[in-house]
Structure 1
């Protein structure tokens, strides 16, 4: 699995994983507003996340915390995220300075992306009305007896950056984003994923995002990690939103010459400072044409490990992150 890692910094702050109550500390904890706090309970003996959360509230000045990351929260077996959502919402008033939240900072060595049993995160978005940055990783496998990521349309005046990392982002979540009122949103990144892991959204589901009317301040749009990347590229080629963007990402998916040709034949892209296409299946001549059109330093054309995809071998194409 690629493109998944623990961030060393978040919201401009270095990430610090809080040592549990049973972990000796040689140095005192830093001031609450100088780091992004990361919590993980899965690897700390028998410590439950609820116990770690209470220790966190009792140990750190939560009124000054600016950024928070939730890492592995389970004990012995993977469990749904809903109890963590309840804890966050119950104590939201104790975090008046919180501006950035990461749900959930977990890598494949801890749990595969699509095995993370997320839940409806709408209550978190509503409870933290001052958030400027929200990253959500994972979704949950769409099988009976498991929870999956959910979101309802929301109004949030402060949110500037919204990022969903998923091997299969449900269409309901995509539609909810498009129906949300986010007047400050500048950065939107969606890893759409594959149908096998619940990524059932279509180009039609993206229409509100592509219209340019949903988020007037949007300057970066990432519609990536998709098995319908060519269809998305064709829609983007004539989408009104593109004229307002500074950067665009169609990376991590199955983008081929078909999608590249659509981009080249579509509306001007020369105003973009960055076009990210990494992990693609485009032939070298078309990559060169895109670089010549937009500028060599502004196109990330790093291909998949095969330099050229054979159109007769369609089943060889795959997204960067699925399971």
Structure 2
């Protein structure tokens, strides 16, 4: 007897997981596919094409006034739906009403401002903010750090599967050696308690858990910043201890900025901008900073020279001569 076909969104979910897309990308692509279908009166995507996609994307830009990056994300999701799942060419997508993409310089804290904000934090949130600023990590790179990624002897840490699925090595501030070691002692005790209670497994990327049984319980693979409580993994239902949710740190940093008296619109990512700007300000080579940040193109790193208002020539105002 022929098996009934799974719902379209369930097929899309399975395809995304089979291609090893992150859970965030999976949720985002499913949401855009759902919104696209609802926008067109719940018609099946197979019965639609380029005209319907263009109408939806233009609706996002013109009526909802979404950002250019949001519109592009929706476009990528729908192209994946058609080309990878339905194995169909949706047609010519020219004529999209592009959302305006403002060219803004990143917000950067001074050294004093960065220290003032960090001083308003405490415990694990302070250590995480110090890593964002001291190592130039992105928010989720910090969240996903594993114990094995820290090299105290070489004063460096390895970022695994960063943006674009690339690994890189960056500095581990010497001033964080003591606080991080002390923090990890507490994490080790927590892990031992989980093991004693029949848990202690952590999520492993790709098929590593199947290829290497027992690795999920190994100390080196545990998250540096584990969540307070165990939770059920939405990808399989296993009960594990995941990392701290990023919203907790975002909320703590937002409160710290307000308490410090800093008037700039600063967030967790502002620490990364400040890291890059202060390195260039100290005279470090732009290529070195590019490597530490994990930028694919040096042009992305060059924006921090504009933040310093120096450009490539190190121009000074005639008033300061």
TM-score, normalised by the number of residues in structure 1: 0.25
**Larger proportion of helix:** 2
**Larger proportion of strand:** 1
Over alpha carbons, which structure has the higher Rg?
Answer: 2
Q: Which has the higher contact order (CA 8 A, sep 6+)?
A: 2
TM-score, normalised by the number of residues in structure 2: 0.25
